[in-house]
Amino acid sequence: MDSSQTKYDHLIGKVIDDRYEILQVKGIGGMAVVLKAKDRLKNRIVAIKMLNEKHEGDSASVRRFVNESRAIALLSNDHIVDIYDVAFTGKTKYLVMEYIEGITLREYMKRNGPLGLEKSLDFTIQILSALQHAHEKGVVHRDIKPQNIMVQAGGKLKVTDFGIAQISDNNQGNAGVAMGTVYYISPEQASGKTTTFSSDIYSTGVMLYEMATGRLPFEGDTPLSIAMMQVNTAPVRPRKIDPKIPQGLEQIIMRAMNKAPEERFRSAKSMLRACEIIRRDKTVVFEEAGTVSKPTEEIITEPMKERKKVKAPPLTLFPIVMGVFTAFVMVLAVAGVILLSSLIDMTSEDHTITIPIPNLVGQELTDDLRASLEAQNIVLDVTQVNNDVFAAGQIAVQDPRAGQIRKIANDNMNVEIKVQVSVGKSSFTLEDLTNQEYRSALIRLQNLGIIVTVEEQFHNEVIQGHIISYTPAAGTVLKNGETVHLVVSKGAQTTYAPMVSVIGETEERAKVLLEGSGFAAGNITREHADIPEGLVVRQSVAPGEQAAQKYTTVDLVISLGPKDPPPTTTTAPTTTTKAEGSNS
């Protein structure tokens, strides 16, 4: 254990908030120390991520801690670390999370070098599963790298550290600030531009590149030089490093690492599906979309096999062969008619698949419905329409109609059904949105064809993520294409103030002073002291120290008064007895 870690050894054996018993110091990061602990209340092992001494009073670090708790609290996925508790007690600020026994993906790659095709795809699919869930919840991780992926003993991965995650809508981001880690950062992050879900896909592509080839796509002498490569330099294609890498896998990596966000995979789910295709069939080569004018079109469409070229036989004994060939053609002229007829029969009967058209009208268009139809070789071409009969999200019209039959030549082909999906009535009355969770309100409004704009503000009373106010007012009749502006709470703003001194005050007076300054009294203990009984002897946060209002509690020690003085011992007076016969 290094010296930076030993300075936290004094925490081992201590119990935080009468609940978490510290068992071990697991590691030290730039901002936090990670501890292994036992949750006495739940009787389980947990990980505690605690701000280190250097960042205890740093408002940016505290905000990052709060942000991480917000991000993970929104998520529940088998490949994302769970968060159990968040606390700000006096100087102590910590997150309590699921304890993961394992090593980071960085350590795993250091030990194993290139991971090979199967392991690289397995790990990437697990990471993409986590990102798909996070993205669907509106969370962009923004720091996907091997150091933030934990590998458990059975090969299961957990994505961690959402400290700089962006919790926003798909079209919002933090422009002007470069976030993330330089070796895995996306070009838009390196340039300080707006980040979206596509930024996580780029970072995942870099990790897949490294897992498959055993080396990073960009390395340089300084972080700045590497960041510039992410923006301007094309990586060496993986198959030039290792020709054994399948062409389809190289296509996935290069698509994910495209400099232009709109030219990458449209979603983590889309990239995950491509990886699953390669895992099933290593020979697949994806057809590349040739139309540059369609930025949303996937580069990966129908897989097609590489064709082998057959060389023509050498022209030896040409006159004899031609004589035989002429006679053979005469025979084929008759036999060919029979063969062609057989091929037509075989194609039309033995090798076609019959697809009955199901009734979709009235059904809600969901991912489950799409997946069920895709399993039947049916894909949907969707357009959205206003409809006064069907609710938003329901299928109003389909073509071809239910009950018809379509045939396809093989299982690699699909039948297309054109459907019109209702976005609701052409007009409706706006409901009262006050204090509603804004994401659900946003989805409902968008399904009704309303344009929604969102503004975030700090608010001391409205819960984070809920609507403070909105325009126009409730009761307004709106039509499709009109705009509703939502003002959404960011929660109470973290402010800092010097800690008030309550030493020498009575317990009740101390509580009043703390609350009046935005703090709160914490644990109260009592001990003998050389000041009158009932007065404050010590406080856990020193007077004058900057502390977070509304989050900081101050433990107080109250005097029991001086200890009783030791009892005095009395001695009998000494007497002198004259010796017999002495002079008086």
**Catalytic site positions:** 143
Distance CA 190, CA 465 (A): 29
Distance CA 347, CA 410 (A): 10
Distance CA 32, CA 13 (A): 19
The residues, any chain, with a CB within 8 Å of residue 151's CB and separated by 6 or more, are: 102, 103, 104, 105, 107, 108, 123, 157
3-state secondary structure of 541: coil
CA-based Rg of the chain, rounded to a whole angstrom? 36
Beta bridge partners of 422: 385
Q: Which residues of 374-409 are buried (b: 16+ CB within 10 A; e: fewer)?
A: eeebbebeeebebbeebebbbbbbbeeeeeeebeee
CB 437 within 8 A of CB 458: no
User: Residue 447 is which amino acid?
Assistant: N
> What's the chain's length in residues?
584
Distance CA 126, CA 272 (A): 9
User: Which segments within 9-72 are labelled E, that is strand?
Assistant: 15-16, 20-28, 32-39, 44-51
End-to-end C-alpha distance for the chain, whole angstroms: 86
3-state secondary structure of 437: strand
Neighbours of 565 (CB within 10 A): 6
Which residue has tokens 């004994």? 317
The residues, any chain, with a CB within 8 Å of residue 161's CB and separated by 6 or more, are: 68, 143, 147, 148
The encoded tokens of residue 35 equal: 């501890």
Cis peptide before 319 (omega within 30 of 0): no
CB 211 within 8 A of CB 242: no
- Report residue 83: phi and psi, to 5°: -115, 135
Which residue has tokens 């942000």? 67
